[in-house]
Chain A
Amino acid sequence: MRLRWRRPRSTDDFVAEVRAHIDHEVDRLVAEGVPAHEARRLASRAFGPVAGATERFHEARTWCGLSLSGAEAVWLDLRYAVRMVARAPGLCAVVAVTLSLGLGVGASLITVFNGLFLRPNVSHDPSSFAKLFISSTGGDVRAARGEPWSATIEEFDALRVGSHTLVDVTASAWATFRVGGQVSGQLRGLWVSCNYLHAHVPVVVAGRTMTDDDCDPSRAPVAVLSARGWTRLFGAATDVVGRQVTLNGRAVEIVGVVGDGAVRDPVAAEVFLPYSQRPDAAHAANPTARSRDAWLSLSGRYATGASPAAVQREVQGLIDTVNGPRGRSSTARVTNGAAIFDPSAGKYLPMMVSAGAFALVLVLLLTCANAAMLLLARAVAREGEWAMRLRLGAPPSRIVRQALIEGAVLVLPAWLLAVALASWLPPQLLSRLSVFPLSVDLAPDWRVWGATGAMTVAAGSLAAVAAARHAVSAPLTAGGATATPRSHAWLLTPQVAACVVFASGVATLSATDERWRAPRVAYDPADVVVATWTDEGAGVGATRALAAATDAAAQLRDLPGVAHTALASPAPFSGDMRMVVRHGQHDAVSTSLRVVSAEYFALAHIDVVAGRPWHVAPHTSATGGSVEAVVSLGLSHRLGGLTPPARLELHDGRTLTVIGVVADTVSIRPDATDDPLLYLPAGAAPTPATSVLVRGGAATAALVRARWPQSSPTGEPAIESLSTILARSGGGYRTGRDILALVAALALAVCVVGTAGAVAFQLRRRRRETAVRLVLGATRVGLLAHHLVTTLTPVLTGVLVGAGVALALGLAWRPADAGFVGALRDTAWPGLVVTVVSALAAAIAAIRALKAASLTALRED
């Protein structure tokens, strides 16, 4: 290509040449005897449209070999587009706000989803990070908190020493540490192997990191703070290194502060302690505990050249070597640390993430479709102008380009607003998800921005291009086309349905929240005080915790105002333990499990239906070597109408003797159908926490705190009322409700815009027909009703579809006794609200459009 460095010719110069040409032609014609005025007319006619010639002149111009039809024409189109936007500020503002809100909120939720579930969330060298999951069954293996994918110390040691495909095999376990002494509060932290910080959090802020010597149980206990814990609880004091603090009743020395490195888990660790300091069972010295208790979470770093498959094979082999001789069956899995691949999350997490992603993409698409609908309605009004330009000689490509630029001028600011919103909103959403600080990588993903940007541009340009194409294919003659755009109106159906489902979900979660606040129990939760030792936090050992809890219950029973004291693990509404039992030839049943003392039934007002609870000291209750158990009426029915005494078989071959049947109660989740419950005496099964329940008056909590046995070897437990536990446990529903309310509000806004856009577009398309009808005597009210019926048919269809889906989901979610009526109520009002709001939006849009459909419009056409 030959480059010519010269100034491009101006349009004015070209027009001057055209004028000169016409003047010459006039001279020639006059010379031939044509009158002057006729000569000018003939010369102009012979030349043809000057605009067309100018358009072709623009197309032909180049600069440095590059077409100038680009830059200058784009600049002209840009200026024109800005003027056109300024002419309809209201409509453009609605489109911009709809797009920015829809895309911004959608992208924010995708970012949070991405950070929580899809990213490994490892701040130091995530590409080499490997998360190891080990599940062992059979023998005497005992998983902490019933989690099947934890490892024993023996398994950890085997991997640490034997693995060649992994370097720095590390172990960790979450714990909550209560800080005593000069500062007080709670720290969320980890028991870690002493190579953990070196492998995953290598940045040392102050002091030192952990060394292998720190994991020697005979050494004085030490702790390392994270920058977050250091700042939050110690105000980033520079003298914190070397200070002695009390963690869970034990004095430890803080030896260093490390950076806030995220290691897979979204909850940010605030303190790290050597795992060998965990007092439970003295792991390093107790061979039984080393091989039996699975409580460690393992991870590592790939050795150079190692592949995930090679690591998987090696880990499986090493674990089999350890567990095979003990009669255990083991399964090992290796992932990159992303939560969605976590086998302990089960199959529901991928399903939920997929469903959430689908809903978000749907919202994004509908947002763009609705914005496009509004733009289409606006673009249709300009078909006449474009058709005229075509007749004057403008090439179709020029019209399409102008349409694209106009779309871009409108939607690009909306996209920038969406980017700003999506940068600000994710941290705000995340802060509501957990009481503990979360460390989630919320860095924007360029693919999300690319996708939302492409969708925005598509929304802005497709509508304009569609209208331009119509003008190109049928110039001038098709002004006021009468085609009914039913296909566009039916876009409303899925979004209205989604809107109803989201709104019904908000109603259902609100009702669930209410039930969490006031569960249907025969006592006032505010009157029950719960003192809990969590095994993960205190690490006092199940046996010591049980003994301390039993002693404490006996002492607290004598306090004034105390009606009952009992042991219950887990405490009501504090979690769920499960066990699989079988009775005779009946199918095995998975049931909730609660380990309680005999007084629990009286404390919780649970009536005995048949047989009796155990009477003796709870942790010694047994009948001929078989543990005595009590079942709820629901479990009794599930097991084929079991009546005591009866024998239950566990999955590992052990047996239970059922000595009593008690009434059903709501004590696991107040929003669900009463679970079948199996009660075991305290000490009969390992529990992650041990709780003492004290039922008395409102002042009981203060009394219990004040009179807590000072001699308790386990230190002070967490003391709170049952109503506080309920409020905390139901917090997830409130967060879910708030997020869903945000989505529902967004969906409703999108729906309103979509409805208004559909009506406006339809009436624009049919303005000629409407004007003719008005001339022939049709009333505006009649036409309004006609258009409303046409538009609201897909809206009402959407409401019905959405209500059906919401009702089905509501029935599946709700407990049977709150079933159909409650689900119907939670579905009916959102459907009504969506219908009314959509009808209003349609009516307003129709009235505005009908005003424009007058004889004037007909004449313009």
Chain B
Amino acid sequence: MSIRKRGDREYSAHLQGTLDLLVLRTLLHGPQHGQGIARAIQQTSDEVLIVEHGSLYPALQRLEERGFVTAAWGVSQNNRKARFYTLTKAGRAELVRERSEWTRIADAIRRVLDPSTT
């Protein structure tokens, strides 16, 4: 996943480990296929976070292997075949855990960048 910079240029840096968190959070709204997940992340982040599609599916596979999501083939709104992912109970627990961790780290970074707000 990349972060789109203002001026439409991308950072080369990746936000390691955040893609799984964002995917789990997106699936909290209900089952979704891969392309839908990618679009949802981009739209929710106001096109700031760009999901590399080639990285999304291995990440989904990884989440499925770990039991955080389940997948099943179905038909999308466009009447096309798609593989829909659903958040599991373990996935919800993981989402809570990861979100808490991410918040803690983000707060820490914010305190370092802007000590006056603490």
Query: Chain A residues in contact with chain B, CB under 8 A?
Result: 2, 4, 9, 14, 16-18, 20-21, 23-25, 27-28, 46-50, 52-53, 56-57, 59-62, 393
Known: A4-B67, A48-B52, A62-B65. A21 touches B57 (CB 8 A): yes
Q: 8 Å CB contacts to A: which residues of B59-108?
A: 59, 61-62, 64-65, 67, 76, 78, 80-83
Q: Is the CB of A21 within 8 A of B53?
A: yes
Q: Is the CB of B35 within 8 A of A25?
A: yes
Q: Is the CB of B53 within 8 A of A47?
A: yes
Q: How far is the CA of A17 from the CA of B59 in the complex (A)?
A: 13
Q: Is the CB of A24 within 8 A of B65?
A: no
Kindly report which residue of chain A lies nearest to residue B52, judged by CB atoms.
A48
Contact partner of A49 (CB less than 8 A), chosen from B54, B57, B82, is: B54
Residues of B within 8 A of A53 (CB): 53-55, 57-58
Kindly report which residue of chain A lies nearest to residue B35, judged by CB atoms.
A24
Residues of A within 8 A of B35 (CB): 20-21, 24-25, 28
Q: Is the CB of A59 within 8 A of B58?
A: yes
Q: How far is the CA of A61 from the CA of B64 in the complex (A)?
A: 9
Contact partner of A24 (CB less than 8 A), chosen from B57, B64, B76, is: B76
Residues of A within 8 A of B53 (CB): 21, 25, 46-48, 53
Residues of A within 8 A of B82 (CB): 17, 20, 24
Please give the distance in Å from A41's CB to the nearest CB on chain B.
Answer: 14
Residues of B within 8 A of A27 (CB): 78, 80
Kindly report which residue of chain B lies nearest to residue A67, judged by CB atoms.
B65
Kindly report which residue of chain A lies nearest to residue B36, judged by CB atoms.
A24
Kindly report which residue of chain A lies nearest to residue B78, judged by CB atoms.
A27
Residues of B within 8 A of A61 (CB): 61, 65
Please give the distance in Å from A663's CB to the nearest CB on chain B.
Answer: 94
Contact partner of B61 (CB less than 8 A), chosen from A9, A20, A52, is: A9
Known: A27-B78, A27-B80, A49-B54. A21 touches B61 (CB 8 A): no
Kindly report which residue of chain A lies nearest to residue B37, judged by CB atoms.
A21
Q: How many residues of B contact A (CB 8 A)?
A: 23
Q: Could you list 30 A-B pairs, sorted by A, with CB under 8 Å?
A: A2-B67, A4-B67, A9-B64, A17-B34, A17-B57, A17-B83, A18-B57, A20-B33, A20-B35, A20-B83, A21-B33, A21-B53, A21-B57, A24-B36, A24-B76, A24-B82, A25-B35, A25-B53, A27-B78, A28-B35, A47-B53, A48-B52, A49-B54, A53-B54, A53-B58, A56-B58, A57-B58, A60-B59, A61-B61, A62-B65
Q: Does B39 contact A (CB under 8 A)?
A: yes
Kindly report which residue of chain B lies nearest to residue A68, judged by CB atoms.
B65
Kindly report which residue of chain B lies nearest to residue A9, judged by CB atoms.
B61
Residues of B within 8 A of A57 (CB): 57-58, 61
Please give the distance in Å from A53's CB to the nearest CB on chain B.
Answer: 4
Please give the distance in Å from A219's CB to the nearest CB on chain B.
Answer: 85
Q: Is the CB of B39 within 8 A of A28?
A: yes
Max chain B Cβ within 10 angstroms of own Cβ: one of A2, A16, A17, A59? A17
Please give the distance in Å from A23's CB to the nearest CB on chain B.
Answer: 6
Q: 13 more A-B contacts (CB under 8 A) besides A60-B59, A61-B65?
A: A17-B57, A17-B83, A20-B33, A20-B35, A20-B82, A20-B83, A23-B80, A25-B53, A28-B35, A47-B54, A48-B52, A53-B55, A56-B54
Q: Is the CB of B58 within 8 A of A60?
A: yes
Residues of B within 8 A of A49 (CB): 54
Please give the distance in Å from B70's CB to the nearest CB on chain A.
Answer: 11
Q: How far is the CA of A546 from the CA of B55 in the complex (A)?
A: 99
Q: How far is the CA of A27 from the CA of B83 in the complex (A)?
A: 16
Please give the distance in Å from B38's CB to the nearest CB on chain A.
Answer: 8
Residues of A within 8 A of B58 (CB): 53, 56-57, 59-60
Q: Is the CB of B67 within 8 A of A24?
A: no
Q: How far is the CA of A303 from the CA of B53 in the complex (A)?
A: 77
Query: Chain B residues in contact with chain A, CB under 8 A?
Result: 33-36, 39, 52-55, 57-59, 61-62, 64-65, 67, 76, 78, 80-83
Residues of A within 8 A of B76 (CB): 24
Q: Is the CB of A14 within 8 A of B57?
A: yes
Q: How far is the CA of A20 from the CA of B37 in the complex (A)?
A: 14
Q: Is the CB of A24 within 8 A of B55?
A: no
**9 closest A-B pairs by CB:** A48-B54, A56-B58, A24-B35, A53-B54, A47-B53, A60-B62, A60-B61, A17-B83, A21-B35
Kindly report which residue of chain A lies nearest to residue B58, judged by CB atoms.
A56
Q: How far is the CA of A568 from the CA of B54 in the complex (A)?
A: 95
Please give the distance in Å from B79's CB to the nearest CB on chain A.
Answer: 10
Residues of A within 8 A of B36 (CB): 24
Q: How far is the CA of A9 from the CA of B62 in the complex (A)?
A: 12
Please give the distance in Å from A20's CB to the nearest CB on chain B.
Answer: 5
Q: How far is the CA of A62 from the CA of B64 in the complex (A)?
A: 10
Q: How far is the CA of A393 from the CA of B36 in the complex (A)?
A: 24
Kindly report which residue of chain B lies nearest to residue A48, judged by CB atoms.
B54
Q: Is the CB of A20 within 8 A of B54?
A: no
Known: A17-B83, A47-B53. A24 touches B33 (CB 8 A): yes
Q: How far is the CA of A33 from the CA of B36 in the complex (A)?
A: 19
Residues of A within 8 A of B39 (CB): 28
Known: A4-B67, A60-B62, A61-B61. A24 touches B54 (CB 8 A): no
Q: How far is the CA of A48 from the CA of B55 in the complex (A)?
A: 9
Kindly report which residue of chain B lies nearest to residue A17, judged by CB atoms.
B83
Q: Is the CB of B67 within 8 A of A20?
A: no
Residues of B within 8 A of A52 (CB): 54
Q: How far is the CA of A603 from the CA of B67 in the complex (A)?
A: 101
Residues of B within 8 A of A60 (CB): 58-59, 61-62, 65
Q: How far is the CA of A16 from the CA of B57 in the complex (A)?
A: 12
Max chain A Cβ within 10 angstroms of own Cβ: one of B36, B39, B58, B83? B58
Residues of B within 8 A of A18 (CB): 57
Kindly report which residue of chain B lies nearest to residue A393, judged by CB atoms.
B54
Please give the distance in Å from A71's CB to the nearest CB on chain B.
Answer: 15
Residues of B within 8 A of A21 (CB): 33-35, 53, 57
Q: How far is the CA of A59 from the CA of B62 in the complex (A)?
A: 9
Residues of A within 8 A of B59 (CB): 60
Residues of A within 8 A of B65 (CB): 60-62
Please give the distance in Å from B32's CB to the nearest CB on chain A.
Answer: 11
Q: How far is the CA of A2 from the CA of B88 in the complex (A)?
A: 15
Kindly report which residue of chain A lies nearest to residue B81, judged by CB atoms.
A20
Q: How far is the CA of A2 from the CA of B78 in the complex (A)?
A: 37
Please give the distance in Å from A45's CB to the nearest CB on chain B.
Answer: 10
Please give the distance in Å from A68's CB to the nearest CB on chain B.
Answer: 9
Please give the distance in Å from A737's CB to the nearest CB on chain B.
Answer: 65
Please give the distance in Å from A290's CB to the nearest CB on chain B.
Answer: 85
Please give the distance in Å from B35's CB to the nearest CB on chain A.
Answer: 4
Residues of A within 8 A of B64 (CB): 9
Q: How far is the CA of A741 from the CA of B67 in the complex (A)?
A: 66
Kindly report which residue of chain B lies nearest to residue A47, judged by CB atoms.
B53
Kindly report which residue of chain B lies nearest to residue A52, judged by CB atoms.
B54
Known: A28-B39, A48-B52. A20 touches B62 (CB 8 A): no
Kindly report which residue of chain A lies nearest to residue B63, judged by CB atoms.
A60
Q: How far is the CA of A46 from the CA of B34 in the complex (A)?
A: 14
Please give the distance in Å from A3's CB to the nearest CB on chain B.
Answer: 11
Q: Is the CB of B34 within 8 A of A14?
A: no
Please give the distance in Å from A488's CB to the nearest CB on chain B.
Answer: 38
Residues of A within 8 A of B34 (CB): 17, 21
Q: How far is the CA of A204 from the CA of B39 in the complex (A)?
A: 88
Residues of A within 8 A of B62 (CB): 60
Kindly report which residue of chain B lies nearest to residue A2, judged by CB atoms.
B67
Q: How far is the CA of A28 from the CA of B40 in the complex (A)?
A: 13
Q: How far is the CA of A27 from the CA of B59 in the complex (A)?
A: 24
Please give the distance in Å from A64's CB to the nearest CB on chain B.
Answer: 11
Please give the distance in Å from B102's CB to the nearest CB on chain A.
Answer: 22
Please give the distance in Å from B99's CB to the nearest CB on chain A.
Answer: 22
Kindly report which residue of chain A lies nearest to residue B80, judged by CB atoms.
A23
Q: Is the CB of A24 within 8 A of B61?
A: no
Q: How far is the CA of A20 from the CA of B53 in the complex (A)?
A: 12
Q: Is the CB of A56 within 8 A of B33?
A: no
Q: How far is the CA of A445 from the CA of B75 in the complex (A)?
A: 64
Q: How far is the CA of A782 from the CA of B68 in the complex (A)?
A: 67
Q: How far is the CA of A49 from the CA of B33 in the complex (A)?
A: 20
Q: How far is the CA of A748 from the CA of B54 in the complex (A)?
A: 54
Q: How far is the CA of A229 from the CA of B39 in the complex (A)?
A: 91
